[in-house]
Structure 1
Amino acid sequence: MTEKSEATLPDATEPPHFHGHRERLRKRFREAGADALADYELIELVLFRAIPRRDVKPLAKALLKRFGSFAEVAAAPELRLAEIDGMTAVAITELKVIQAAAVRFGRSRIERRPVLSSWSSVIDYCRSAMAFAEREQFRVLYLDKKNALIADEVQGEGTIDHTPVYPREVLKRALELSATALILVHNHPSGDPTPSRADILMTQQIIEIAKPLGVAVHDHIIVGRDGHVSFKGLQLI
């Protein structure tokens, strides 16, 4: 081998080009905060630990292209994440940890405190827990006489556009918990939170059964990717 050819060989000890990028991105996050980063860059930060020996920027952009936003990437079902070329089981777990942390953080902001005085926190929690789910879920926030959260329970999960709801089961559970008020919540996977006729009728049925039992229905919130609606705000309650 000639001296010239030896000089053109790459240095085996030289770190890959993306290592410098990773440190620069981490530094920008530390110094300027999350608002200074694009969604794909936040996804990169999540993937760094899961995929240490590869440039993950193309993968982050592919995830964003498929699902639409950082929140939608984190909330995407594991099977759909696995369809993206380059996603590993470890990387999927990292994203699911982010999702779980967001939901738990949101729940902690409404636990053991009057939820009606922390309404924005209630909405934030409902959106983080349900807005990007691919199937309809129906959950109930059970409240005590001070309107503090007793329990947060998913009562049912259905298809992309329907969840079976059993009003008497909702109220039976309220009596078991000694709850005096409810907030009903469900999601519209279509993204549009506009209530359907079936949503309105179901809410009226629960209110009619709850009233003689001394249980108030404070609101029914529908969340979707495009926002949320409140039945009380729409004067449907």
Structure 2
Amino acid sequence: MSSQADHGGHRERMRKRFKESGNFKGFSEHEILEMLLFYIVPRKNTNDIAHELIKKFGSLNSVLNASVEELSSVKDMGESSANSLLFFRELINYCSTVTDSRIDIRNISAALSFVNNCFRNEKQEKFKVICIDSGFHIKSVTDISAGGARFTPVDFRELTKAVLNSGTDIVILAHNHPDSPNTPSQEDVTLTREVMRYMRCLGVTVLDHYITGNNGTISMRNCGLIHDMEC
């Protein structure tokens, strides 16, 4: 009886800790997984299960990307619990790719917030193209290329494919500086103008280039770094 009480008390302490912080800052990966398992395995010690899963697969991300068969092989998981983890994984994947079509990019604050969320927790530099419909709402967001922590080249073939597949003639460029401020470099300015010239040949207008850093997201146009007549 006392062990069940201790178990319940531990869960409540974990929930209280999360509630007070409002995020997972300060939590280890096995603690995050342990809390997720609260809702999947209600009557077992999820701390032990989380440790076993991390030990077997190496990281939280690897756990969430493991197959149902692989997850089921871990003690106290089983097929039902493995399928529940699969559900959470697919929910996360869906939320990371779905576009909120209600966002009007003419509302610069909402657009910057949207882009900032697109790069949340990203550890490597990525370049994205945001396709805009005729009503100035976000139509799609596509990863074009990825690089290291400080640089990513632009794959013009993937850029062309994404834009043509969307059927749009208006786009916004976006990339991130994972471990540094959002201050545009001269390379960023040069690349932006190069892409704008290239897109113009396709009949596509580049409205802006957003850069997300560890201090938020900025608009290069608002910073005075994009001038249409120069491109």
1:157-200 alpha-carbon deviations (Å, 9 max, x no partner):
12222211144653464345331211101111214222222111
Look up the SS of the partner of 2:218 in the other structure.
Answer: strand
Unaligned runs of 5+ in 2: 51-58, 65-76, 227-231
Alpha-carbon offset, residue 155 of structure 1: 0.9
Look at both structures and tell me which one has the larger radius of gyration over its CA atoms: 1
Q: How well do the aligned residues superpose, as a CA RMSD in angstroms?
A: 4.2
Matches of 2:60 and 2:113 in 1, distance apart? 20
Using the size of structure 2 for normalisation, the TM-score is 0.63
Verify the 8 A CA contact 1:168 1:209 in the aligned structure 2.
Answer: no
The answer on whether the counterparts of 2:125 and 2:149 sit within 8 Å (CA) in structure 1 is: yes
Shift of 1:37: 4.9
**Residue type at the aligned position of 1:140:** V
**Does the Cα contact within 8 Å between 2:208 and 2:220 map onto a contact in 1?**
yes
Q: 1:221 to 1:80 in 2, by over 3 A?
A: farther
Of 27, 39, 44, 2:23 maps to 39
Give me the identity figure in percent. 25
Q: Which of 109, 120, 135 is the equivalent residue of 1:146?
A: 135
* Structure 1 portions without partners, runs of 5+: 1-10, 60-75, 82-87
Taking the aligned partners of 1:98 and 1:191, their CA distance within structure 2 comes to 30
- CA pair 118-48 structure 1, distance change in 2 beyond 3 A: farther
User: Aligned residue for 1:72?
Assistant: none
Could you tell me how far 1:23 is from its partner in structure 2? 5.0
TM-score under structure 1 normalisation? 0.61
- Alpha carbons of structure 1 residues 189 and 50: separation in structure 2 relative to 1, 3 Å: farther
Partner residue of 1:187 out of 162, 176, 186: 176
Alignment partner, residue 204 of structure 1: 193
Counterpart CA distance in 2 for 1:49 and 1:153 is 32
